[in-house]
Structure 1
């Protein structure tokens, strides 16, 4: 099996290893895992995927849309498991959720469908906000997600502008741009986690809400999205079925059915914010 991640690879690898172990797979006995990680630099993904394909794996797990796109371009024969994709149909990875139709199947994260509700929450916490910055990267799903965010923000009377940080080292300069553009809140679109983000947001005193919920435990203010670890458990289940003979074309794409709203009150206090009681009651997890 091959695993290629866009970032945060050590954590993802461990979650997938644990899930496979629960199904009887042991890297010392009946499983070989070849692993490559881009560390947030998506331009290197084609090279990493080529290295993995040269090893002739039975199945590839590709984490996040940039890695899935690189794997798709590299092979039409080796099964690819999405873990996860933001818009698998729009990205051309599968023909439909129920009948993928090719060598790719796996998990969709539904981030695009959550944007309107996220911005409703943002409006409850920041009722007087006039402008938000939307942090994006070179992730190919981000232009469409940015359009969704702009429309959802406009519906609540807020202007939204996109700002690009292509690589992790670009994040601080991008926050300077958002501050200079008079953004009052930042909305971070889904990407493999960049751990420096919450600290940089706090440095510039910009309240930040994330699509990826793991940021809140790193000091992010708020997040709304699906349970991330569940994606990798589901990916391991796809691997198991494929190794036992199932075809990706016949395995429906799974979508999350539960979503989590998280708040970090330590960060709120550091920013001088009071979170309304109504919002606290909505939260699935409050870090105090």
Structure 2
């Protein structure tokens, strides 16, 4: 064997060794057919909407062949603790997860920061991913991040308010200061409502512990409340309803799980579908699809959801066509 051939082999071996050390795992090309990828799922907090996204992710991964012994899923729930988000994100990096999914904007931001442009991050139900700085644009994300966005049908929500509480003039909107998606939806709704002639009052909470005091103030000042797709508000929905019910103030929320917790009615985008699509995208990325050119998918189709028990409690008569649509194509809570 001549010296030139030996040198060439040495260079190739050295390159492969560096590639392995740099990533902490074999490169995509060297993975065997039996290789089992590790997928990290980071959820901000436990509440029904985010739980539905998680359930959808698992189902979506399954359609791509990643279930059972074909994948290792490491599920972590930060329970709304920022320190937990950082620790759990780092855990995925330390374990060399092949891909991570973030359920809710704070979880996605934490994963993105820890991944630092390296391992793929899939968004699951993130409002305004470009505005959050997670991607360059929805059409061309541009780096290691893509996924799904659940865009609230705000104009339809405003129409629900008009139908359910036609005489209302003062609209209260509440959101969590640390939730970019909640703030984004709240401010967009405020603009729409002002244009429609409502006297809009904005209220904020820092944590769920603030809800009772803020809700008491809000209920004394408005005719109806809009609760946007906001993780803090969704987690404290039952507290909000317990206060607004005392003053006979209806709450129109963004998603079906919040209607179940005491909201009157809404047009709800399926949280399960948001997760399901994110799971499919994760599977495609594991198979080699490039996140940089894989467009963010926005889920916008919604179903009518009503809470007949809550409407009766507040003395509201819901439009017959709204109830009929909910019964045939949507969801009804009695």
Q: How does the TM-score come out when normalised to structure 1?
A: 0.89
Q: Which stretch has the larger CA shift, 265-274 or 254-263?
A: 254-263
Mapped contact 1:100–1:251 kept (Cα < 8 A): yes
Matched pairs, number: 284
1:171 matched to 2:171? The reply is no
Q: Which residue does the alignment assign to 1:24? A: 65
Q: Deviations over 1:99-145 (max 9, x none)?
A: 2111110111122xx22331122022212212122121120233333
CA change 1:15–1:108 in 2 (3 A) is closer
Q: Which residue does the alignment assign to 1:40? A: 80
User: 1:141 is paired with a residue of what secondary structure?
Assistant: helix
Mapped contact 1:60–1:80 kept (Cα < 8 A): yes
CA change 1:277–1:13 in 2 (3 A) is closer
CA distance in 1, matches of 2:206, 2:230: 11
Equivalent of 2:105 in 45, 65, 89? 65
CA distance in 2, matches of 1:275, 1:131: 20
CA distance in 1, matches of 2:59, 2:186: 35
CA distance in 2, matches of 1:194, 1:51: 27
Correspondence list, 1:132-281, <5 A: 132-137=171-176, 138-180=178-220, 182-192=221-231, 194-198=234-238, 200-205=240-245, 206-281=249-324
CA distance in 2, matches of 1:42, 1:115: 29
CA distance in 2, matches of 1:286, 1:153: 26
- Distance apart, 1:268 and its partner CA: 0.7
- Distance apart, 1:77 and its partner CA: 0.5
User: 2:187 is paired with a residue of what secondary structure?
Assistant: helix
- Distance apart, 1:214 and its partner CA: 2.0
Gaps of 5+ in 2: 1-38
- Distance apart, 1:40 and its partner CA: 3.2
Higher helix share: 2
- Distance apart, 1:43 and its partner CA: 6.0
- Distance apart, 1:241 and its partner CA: 0.8
Gaps of 5+ in 1: none
Q: Which residue does the alignment assign to 1:84? A: 125
Q: How does the TM-score come out when normalised to structure 2?
A: 0.77
The structure whose Rg is larger is: 2
- Distance apart, 1:232 and its partner CA: 1.0
Structure 1 vs Structure 2 CA RMSD: 2.3
- Distance apart, 1:87 and its partner CA: 0.7
Equivalent of 2:136 in 95, 101, 126? 95
CA change 1:98–1:262 in 2 (3 A) is same
CA distance in 2, matches of 1:43, 1:140: 18
